[in-house]
Amino acid sequence: MQNLKGVGVSPGRIIGTIRHMPQPVQEPHAEQRLSPDVSAEDAIAQLKAAAGRVHEQLKDRASHAQDDAKAVLEATALMAKDSMLLKTAAKKITAGICAERAIWDAAQTVATQLGALGGYMAERATDVLDVRQRIVAELRGAPAPGIPHSDTPFILVAQDLAPADTATLDPAQVLALLTSEGGPQSHTAIIARSLGLPAVVAAAGAEQILADAEIYVDGATGEIHLEPGQPERQAAERWQASAQLQSFDGTGATADGHAVPLLANVGGADSARRAAADGAEGVGLFRTEFCFLERDSEPSVEEQAAAYAGVFDAFAGKKVVVRTLDAGADKPLPFLTDSTEPNPALGVRGYRTDWSNPGVLQRQLQAIAQAAAGSSAEVWVMAPMISTVEDSEAFARMCADAGLRTPGVMIEVPSAALNSRHVLQPVQFASLGTNDLTQYAMAADRQLGSLAALNTGWQPAVLQLVKHAVDGAQLAGQRPVGVCGESAGDPAMAVVLAGLGVATLSMSARSIPAVSSVLRSITLAQAQELAEVALNARNAQEAQQQVRAGLPILDQLGL
């Protein structure tokens, strides 16, 4: 085999022996019928009991997981008790199909329907098929497939990883991840970044690498060398050494003292406390969905306020940027979102849910204000999926009515970036969600591995939107613009963003030391020069290569 090339989604250079994911649960025989000794009612009861056990197992895993892994497991657990899935299987059992085959076919039907919807709903198809494997294993009394065991650390190779497996990776056992499918925003990519694991996705041919082969993986460039030589071994050694030396002194800045505060993305009080302990200067993205998941009804104002207070208390006296509920698309809620939308990524999600369910956002803002009143944290609040001036005006009024003094908006829709001069006038700040901004700008579903090359913040068109948003923010009254998408955690991209005038960068707390080290190696003027290089590049690959070439510290740190 030749060397492979994928999409680097989590930096780091590793040489190690590979282990392949075990084969999935064997498909039940297509003609397998219900045993004459088992009634349809009993088989349905057995199926529901097996699904219930899978649900509880995933919930238990979620209770021991952290941050992004916790959210992934909670979402997958919901799928294990999905009423559409179980009802479809029950009908098949009533028609004489055995429970194993019934849930197998029912899951395929549901997954196909979700896949046809595209966008975020297509990602749920992976959850359904993962849950199918686990339910069938339960019915058979067999262990569910999972991460392979090894007496020594290894590089894990797979077609893609099921959400529940990705969420329980042990960084002490798994050195790096390599998948032939998946995209920059897949479960694998998101959790690899949160764990600090080097990872490459969308590397066609990865599954054909011979078992126990030693390979080199570069999680920044996406390069895979099947016969690593001395240059690759030296690069891996430099990365290992720099990973131990990297630290953050609590102040993000360039070499000439230009401040670029480095904030953390958090999803609850536990992750906020860890981020604070790691020295993050504040919270640039507080995802509030955790309060609403695993529920059939809206949490009370009091419940929400108590949950938000835990995050505010972790950053007493510091800035905490709260994103209001981003329901819809990949985070459907039974009491709030319409699961029949033909294209949920372009549907009623984020701020737009207030149009169809007025009152939910108002009560959330009330809870945020209540929690903020009992804390010394500097609480800023922003709404996702803002598209027009009317959106930002309405949200600013809602915040004022709730007593929240610092309203803002997320810029993740191209219209908001292009019209930022006006969209930002009613509010006091903006935060760029580069994941969605890239998806919408490039018309490329961010979950599809086949479109991974399009879904990168290095696309010059996306960088032009960032620049337009920042320039418009200055015309709107010098509104500060931060970035809370995954691009902020890429050290090379962080330099470009600082050069474009982005005020703050928010990322996984694990990414902060590397970003800080690279920012401190250049002046603001140098960052501006590199930003111009990226803006004027012909394509994403050229932009990334030319910027990286202007940052020799990346090679020194193995980044």
Residues with catalytic roles = 187, 484
Residues 515 and 507 sit within 8 Å (Cβ to Cβ): yes
State the CB neighbour count (10 A cutoff) for residue 157.
25
Residues 80 and 134 sit within 8 Å (Cβ to Cβ): yes
Q: Which helix (H) or strand (E) holds 239?
A: helix 230-245
Residues 517 and 557 sit within 8 Å (Cβ to Cβ): yes
* Number of helices (H), then strands (E), in the chain: 22, 16
**Residues contacting 45, CB < 8 A, separation 6+:** none
Place of tokens 């030396």: 245
User: What gap in Å lies between CA 501 and CA 258, rounded to an integer?
Assistant: 11
Residues 280 and 262 sit within 8 Å (Cβ to Cβ): yes
Q: Answer left, alpha or beta for residue 374, where phi above 0 means left and psi between -120 and 50 means alpha.
A: alpha
Q: Do the strands 262-266 and 283-287 form a parallel or antiparallel pair, or are they unpaired? A: parallel
Q: How far apart are the first and last CA of the chain?
A: 26
User: What gap in Å lies between CA 17 and CA 324, rounded to an integer?
Assistant: 44
User: What gap in Å lies between CA 550 and CA 534, rounded to an integer?
Assistant: 11
Q: In three state form, how does the secondary structure of 176-203 look?
A: EEEECCCCCCCHHHHHHHHHCCCEEECC
Residues 525 and 503 sit within 8 Å (Cβ to Cβ): no
Q: Report the side by side order of strands in the sheet with 7-10.
A: 4-5, 223-225, 214-218, 13-20, 154-158, 174-179, 199-201, 7-10
Strand partners, 16: 215
Tokens of 37: 């000794």
Q: Do the strands 481-483 and 154-158 form a parallel or antiparallel pair, or are they unpaired? A: unpaired
Q: Which helix (H) or strand (E) holds 155?
A: strand 154-158
Tokens of 195: 């764990």
Residues 93 and 102 sit within 8 Å (Cβ to Cβ): yes
